[in-house]
Amino acid sequence: MRPGKKSGAPRLSMEVGRGIHRITLPLPGPRPGPVNAYLFVGDNVSLLDTGTAQAAGRLSKALGELGYRFSDIDRIVLTHGHIDHYGSAARIMAASRGRTRLYVHREDAASVETGQEARKRTTERFLALMGVPLSLRLSLLSVFFVFMQMAETARPDRFLEEGDTVQMGCHRARIMETPGHTRGSVCLLIEREGLLFSGDMVLPHITPNALAMVEDGLTVPSRRAQDEFYRSLSRIEEAAPRVVHPGHGRAIGDLPAIASLYRTLFSERQEKVLDLLSRGESTVWEVARALFPEIQKLGYRTALESYLAVSEVFTHAQELAADEKIALRRAGNRILLRKEP
């Protein structure tokens, strides 16, 4: 212990398991709230997720309280390729002069390397097909640009796959591929202790987003994010973890209760979308505006909310179409949703 430092728990982190420290890092905006990074110590020093680049100072301070520096980190494992989860990776890797290895699933590697899931043009075209007006498309692209500044891109060293085991401090963690929130989301399961690290797959305070899986080379996403999300949810329920440690918010002791809440909200949302479509053929944007009236007000924050709303309605429409309850029709450069009789 360093002189002058009082004994007791450090302030910026909390031990949530043997040799596992949760470090909560700030993130602007009300949702999803501060992001959790987890430091695993023991046989090696491993970091699960990093927070944004802006929070690197706080992360470094939290590590310092525990007696570690960035250059002590042997590996960084990412639950997925969103800026609030990988934003400080490049800085940590630079501090160790490249000794720190970076692990991520192949499907999210491009996000980490380039700062975006798909090219601007792909996203723009997707939004146009959804019927989003040009002015909002432009402000959305500028919001995404601001987001890109919250992270430094980094080059992954290894791709995580289903069934891989990764030594995290004194624990052996098994990788579970859990696509849904993103194409390359993974969870880490420490079977012996009954711990699951879920990234944004399970959150205690809000329903996680199964974001539209916009992909370069495809006009309309072919992968069904909601379907993949609920399959992933069933898989982690089968693993029956005792405690789930999420990417945002507090630890979760009752996964089945949260999972059933998500399923209820999913069915309610499906019903609402279907109900709105009984008024007549609509674009995704028209349904999104009816479902979330608050996105009508143009502004920086509502631009992001608009994207989430469009993404949500589109991914629900994909499920309704798979169930043959609605049909998707291309009309010019728009996609129209029609309720089946």
**Interface with Zn ion by CB under 5 A: which residues?**
82, 200
Report in angstroms how near the CB of residue 332 gets to Zn ion at its nearest.
33
Q: Decide whether 35 or 277 has the Cβ nearer to Zn ion.
A: 35
In SS3 terms, 164-228 reads as CEEEECCEEEEEEECCCCCCCCEEEEEHHHCEEEEECCCCCCCCCCCCCCCCCCCCCCCCCHHHH
Q: Decide whether 52 or 282 has the Cβ nearer to Zn ion.
A: 52
Q: What are phi and psi of 175, to 5 degrees?
A: -85, 130
Report in angstroms how near the CB of residue 247 gets to Zn ion at its nearest.
7
Q: Decide whether 198 or 282 has the Cβ nearer to Zn ion.
A: 198
Report in angstroms how near the CB of residue 108 gets to Zn ion at its nearest.
10
CB 302 within 8 A of CB 295: yes
Report in angstroms how near the CB of residue 275 gets to Zn ion at its nearest.
29
Q: Give the CB-nearest residue to Zn ion.
A: 82
CB 211 within 8 A of CB 218: no
Instruction: For CA atoms 171, 44, 165, 160, give the dihedral sign.
Output: positive
CB 82 within 8 A of CB 75: no
Measured CA to CA, the distance from residue 219 to residue 2 in angstroms comes to 57
Q: Decide whether 72 or 200 has the Cβ nearer to Zn ion.
A: 200
Q: Decide whether 28 or 133 has the Cβ nearer to Zn ion.
A: 28
CB 163 within 8 A of CB 330: no
Report in angstroms how near the CB of residue 233 gets to Zn ion at its nearest.
15
